[in-house]
Amino acid sequence: MTIANQQNVATPVAREDLLRIEHLKVEYLAGRGSVRAVDDVTFSVGKGEVIGLAGESGSGKSTIAQAILRILQPPAIITGGHVYFEGKDVLAMSDRQLRDFRWEGVSMVFQSAMNSLSPVATIGMQIVDGIQAHRKVSDSEARRMAAELLEIVGIEGNRIDSYPHQLSGGMRQRAVIAIALALQPPLMIMDEPTTALDVVVQREILAKITELKEQFGFSILFITHDMSLLVEISDRIAIMYAGEIIEMAPSRELFEHPLHPYTQGLMESFPALTGPRRKLEGIPGSPPDLISPPSGCRFHPRCPKRFGPCDSVRTKLVEVRPGHLVACHLYAEEFASAIQRDAPRSEVADGQ
Amino acid sequence: MASSNQVANDLVMDVRGLTKRFPVGGPRDKREVHAVQDATFSIPRQEIVTLVGESGSGKSTTARLIARLIEPTEGEILYNGVDILKNEKNASLSYRSDVQMVFQDPFGSLNPAHTVEYILERPLKIHKKTRGRKETRDRIYELLDTVGLGPAAEVAAKFPYELSGGQRQRVAFARALSVEPKVMLADEPVSMLDVSIRAGVLNLMKRLADEQGLSFLYITHDIASARYIADKTNVMYAGRMVESAESTELVEKPAHPYTKLLLSAVPNPHAGLRTREVHTRGEIPSLIDPPPGCPFAPRCPHVMPVCREVMPPPVTISPGHWVRCHLYDGEPLDSVGT
Amino acid sequence: MGSAIQTINASGQTDLGQMQPTSEPDAPLRKAKRASGFIGLLRQNRKASVGAVIIVFFLILAIFGPYIVPYDATKIVGRRHEAPSMDHWFGTDGSGKDVFSQTVVGARLSIATGLIVGGIVTIVGIIIGMSAGYFRGKVDDILSTLTNVMLIIPGLPLLIVLAAFLPAGFWSIVFVLSVTGWAYGARVLRSQTMALREKDFVASAVVAGESKPRIILREVLPNMMSIVVAGLFGAVNYAIGAQAGLEFLGLGNPSNISWGTNLYWAQNNGALLLGAWWTLIPSGLCIALVAFGFSMINYAIDEVTNPRLRSQRQTASILKGQPGRIRSSRATPVIRDESEKRG
């Protein structure tokens, strides 16, 4: 069994979408109420697609990733919605089925490699463990596969017997990618895979990930707060705020025409490397309390463009340009006339 | 804000040949980590100067040396023209009131056991800046106002865990400001904050530099934010300073191969390319007993035999712009530089 | 919220990376109220309540007991080894003294020993442990060596040797227990100090110009309080038990009345041979109960300060009432809210 060109089992129902998330809701139960970490989120990932999920702390993006694999621990519980992978309902799977699903269907690369790698086992052993947990292969065969994987991700084969602490940060992250790649899952979820790395190493890892994707054809759900990365590597981007998706579009389109004021604010927050030094605005205020989020649009207390209905009417994702969805009353037809009235700009929350 | 001709006494901080070596391993182990080697730079009055570098570059260590949290192995730190290392064995109270620091981790730099009021009160009391409860409290509220936190009375009564990351950093700035310092050392103050919050804190730093006449040493790995707020940028690699220039000039005309690599690696959606060529492989070298010569030699696409033997000396290639690279040895000096 | 999902009564925390209890949404922002967050949590914790009730009971007993006992514990008031009866609730001992009165009066010395030794050991542990942990270098070398020596020497033989040389009595025992009991706590506090020392808020305090003693006592120590308190209670337990042990071996002053000397006399007068269980059990049970009480409080402190333990209890509450399949699975539970549509 070689690693190369080994696609997964046939799906029961051939669908375009590899992964479909519908109206997913995840809550954390806390003393004074429950935190709605993910509130009615719907999106899908197609075969060979790279979907970027962007958001800041408390947006719910990491929670979604862990909910898909069902590795969230109570007090987090999934309270609604569906997750379909290759047509199968993940939320209804038994432990047995979940075991097959995880790592063979979907694998995950976490933010800090030191959190995912056991410090007391060599990386070779960890890859072998991952393989043998799902496939019946001999030790020597598994080891051979591991060595091949390491070469694929760009680690010299002779490092197979190194411990994580003997590797640099970039190499550790490559090792984690190797483990995630071991069973050639059709979908890989990457949660801030390069955030803890230096920018030069980050660039190399991203290049490697893209190369691997071209070679093996897997889809990626790429989660990060760094928008500029996403524009470079993803096909489509979804922006999350306070547990909801507030904008979703192909990446170029999003970059050139950000519609939601939050997205616009995010774009404004990155200092440009070239061009004139204009003042960065950022977004005033703080992320909302998810136990009792603001009424109406969750972003309205911090929005420089809010008007009449924003503090009372909930927003919905609507397609405003081809392939470009946004959840904002500025683009809702029923309020078009209200916008014309040119409501005065209200003060936004003070103190970040 | 920037002025290219600095007169000597216009430098509030002048660091020369700063070196720090840490012993590694047990008492019988002779090896040393060369965290910072021969760092030389200056902070002109009322300007923002940056140290840019990745992990292992020595930038944080340099800040701690200037803050006198640790003592250097070699080198001089001239504050207002006086070598404070020779002058005082340990940092004096007056040095501490002049040179303050803000740290990277907003979740670790405020003591979770104390309220904001206590945290801001202590420096005032230690340096006897105010007298009596009322004056102290008024000053605390004033400080909170300056950093954009309000309502002051409410915030002062809170514990750190009740504040967001951005708010905590502002409290950290307020604490540093309370002693009316002349120099602020900011060690990656926004790296751990959400992107949308960073702009506010960066703008706060700029405002403080303008309004209060503070000099800043801004430490970061993000060269774009360096260009945004700093007048002058110094690039560090593996404990060495390799290039120094006015910020925009550095970004537009980088000289050192490492600076070029750094710039090419910054994600830039404006560039429009999916993946860019990665010019080098390899990682930052070990800092333990490093070999002689330029530390970038193993990764440099332009490496020459001399690079592995001799550390290049600083060469000025244009006014205010020097670089340590053998590619520029023997370049004609243009005009009077720094 | 009116849904099928129970929300948990005990104050929890939002699992978004914060480690401390959350405050009430619109509580007045006074310092006292916030500090009570920790105490408040403790009060709601059942283990803490049980433990506190027991300890308070014994404290009251120790302070006021001797004034309300039916008999003078030092006088002979009945026949020897009378079984418990209405006259003598716990019967009489080998000399004819009332066991109930002895037990109650004995509480005072035993608990006093526990508290005094616990206090001394904790303070010494803080001084030595934190100095070693904060200053490192030579200071650490010397203090750590001292600590390690005290740890290596076998405790009981040392106790016995020291007690044998000193004049028998309450203060000798206090001295002996203090000398042998401080090392363990000092070690723990040293490593905790070393960890906290690296935090940025300590560096901030240094940069602000705080003096070293103030940093240790006002910046580092408050963040270690749960360990210090747990150590204190553990030390009290140790002292009460060790004192009883020493006295049982005859190294105390037999004319004092404490739980340990009660046991000593019971043994001396052949209680087991004669079947006079009532002379042994009360004092023994008291020691056990006090130890139990302090241990409960320690467990509770652990739970309150360690969010993971707390959320385990919350988890159990959430999963109560779910089918067995979900309860035994380690995957994220899917509990749909069918009754109302959210939003």
Are C181 and C117 in contact by the 8 Å Cβ rule? The answer is yes
Q: How far is A299 from chain B (nearest CA, A)?
A: 13
Q: How far is B243 from chain A (nearest CA, A)?
A: 17
Domains of chain A by start residue, with CATH: 20-105+187-195+218-271+280-352 (3.40.50.300)
| C7 contacts chain A (CB < 8 A) | yes
DSSP of A181-207, one letter per residue?
A: HTT--SEEEEESTTTTS-HHHHHHHHH
What DSSP character marks residue B245? E
Return d(Cα B64, Cα C26) in angstroms, integer.
Answer: 41
Q: Which ranges constitute the DSSP H helices of A72-198?
A: 95-104, 113-116, 123-134, 139-153, 169-181
Check pLDDT > 70 for residue C178. Answer: yes
Q: How far is A269 from chain B (nearest CA, A)?
A: 6
Residues of C within 8 A of A75 (CB-CB) are: 8, 12, 15, 311, 314-315, 318
Return d(Cα A262, Cα C68) in angstroms, integer.
Answer: 73
Are A331 and A318 in contact by the 8 Å Cβ rule? The answer is yes
Contact B108 C207 (CB under 8 A): no
Contact C208 B126 (CB under 8 A): yes
Best mutation target among C38, C334, C336 (most A Cβ atoms within 10 Å) is C334
Residue of B nearest to C137 (CA): B27
SS3 content of chain C, % helix, strand, coil (to 5): 70, 0, 30
Contact A232 B275 (CB under 8 A): yes
Domains of chain C by start residue, with CATH: 45-328 (1.10.3720.10)
| A201 contacts chain B (CB < 8 A) | yes
pLDDT above 90 covers a percentage of chain B that reads 50
Contact C331 A31 (CB under 8 A): no
Residues of C within 8 A of B105 (CB-CB) are: 200
| B169 contacts chain C (CB < 8 A) | no
| C123 contacts chain A (CB < 8 A) | no
Q: How far is B1 from chain C (nearest CA, A)?
A: 28
> pLDDT digit of tens for each residue in chain B (338 aa)?
444 444 545 888 999 999 999 888 777 888 889 999 999 999 998 899 999 998 888 999 999 999 999 999 999 999 988 888 888 888 888 899 999 999 998 888 999 999 999 999 999 999 998 888 999 999 999 999 999 887 889 999 999 988 888 899 999 999 999 999 999 999 999 988 888 888 889 999 999 988 888 999 999 988 888 989 999 999 999 999 999 999 989 999 999 999 998 888 887 766 554 445 555 566 778 888 888 899 999 888 888 999 999 999 999 999 999 999 999 886 544 444 44
Residues of A within 8 A of C325 (CB-CB) are: 94
Please give the mean pLDDT across all residues of chain C. 79
Residue of C nearest to A291 (CA): C14
Please give the mean pLDDT across all residues of chain B. 86
Query: Which of C276, C277, C282 lies closest to C80 in space, CA to CA?
Result: C276
Q: How far is C221 from chain B (nearest CA, A)?
A: 10
Contact C333 A80 (CB under 8 A): no
Contact A279 B202 (CB under 8 A): no
Residues of A within 8 A of C11 (CB-CB) are: 31-32
Q: How far is B167 from chain A (nearest CA, A)?
A: 6
Which of A225-234, A259-268, C305-314 shows the lowest mean pLDDT across its residues? C305-314
- For residues A191-216, give the mean pLDDT: 86
3 state SS for A232-262 = HHCCEEEEEECCEEEEEEEHHHHHHCCCCHH
Residue of C nearest to A58 (CA): C16
User: What is the number of CB-based contacts under 8 A between chain A and chain C?
Assistant: 103
Domain extents in chain B = 8-269+279-328
Residue of A nearest to B167 (CA): A352
Q: Is B253 helix (H, G, I), strand (E, B) or coil?
A: coil
pLDDT tens, C236-280? 999 999 989 888 888 888 888 889 898 998 888 888 888 888 888
Contact C343 A314 (CB under 8 A): yes
Q: How far is A318 from chain C (nearest CA, A)?
A: 17
Residue of B nearest to C200 (CA): B109
Predicted local confidence at residue C89, as pLDDT: 84
Question: Within chain B, how many helices (H) and strands (E) appear?
Answer: 11, 12
pLDDT tens, C11-41? 333 333 322 333 322 322 233 333 445 666 6
* Residue at token pair 């978004």: C16
Residues of C within 8 A of A287 (CB-CB) are: none
Q: Which two tokens stand for residue A35?
A: 């935190």
Closest partner residue to A31 (CB to CB) among C8, C325, C331 is: C8
Predicted local confidence at residue C11, as pLDDT: 31
Contact A78 C332 (CB under 8 A): yes
Predicted local confidence at residue A74, as pLDDT: 74
| Strand arrangement of the beta sheet that strand A17-30 belongs to | A33-46, A17-30, A76-85, A88-89
Are A45 and A51 in contact by the 8 Å Cβ rule? The answer is yes
Predicted local confidence at residue C37, as pLDDT: 57
Closest partner residue to A31 (CB to CB) among C5, C22, C337 is: C22
Contact C343 A40 (CB under 8 A): yes
Residues of A within 8 A of B248 (CB-CB) are: 277
Best mutation target among A39, A64, A79 (most C Cβ atoms within 10 Å) is A79
Return d(Cα C307, Cα C303) in angstroms, integer.
Answer: 7
Contact B267 A229 (CB under 8 A): yes
Are A47 and A85 in contact by the 8 Å Cβ rule? The answer is no
Q: Which two tokens stand for residue B258?
A: 């490492």
| A70 contacts chain C (CB < 8 A) | yes
Residues of A within 8 A of C337 (CB-CB) are: 79-80
Q: What is the ipTM of this complex?
A: 0.86
What is B8-269+279-328's CATH superfamily?
P-loop containing nucleotide triphosphate hydrolases (3.40.50.300)
| C343 contacts chain A (CB < 8 A) | yes
**How much is the pTM?**
0.81
Contact B115 C223 (CB under 8 A): no
Closest partner residue to A32 (CB to CB) among C24, C333, C343 is: C24
Contact C14 A30 (CB under 8 A): yes
Residues of A within 8 A of B281 (CB-CB) are: 204
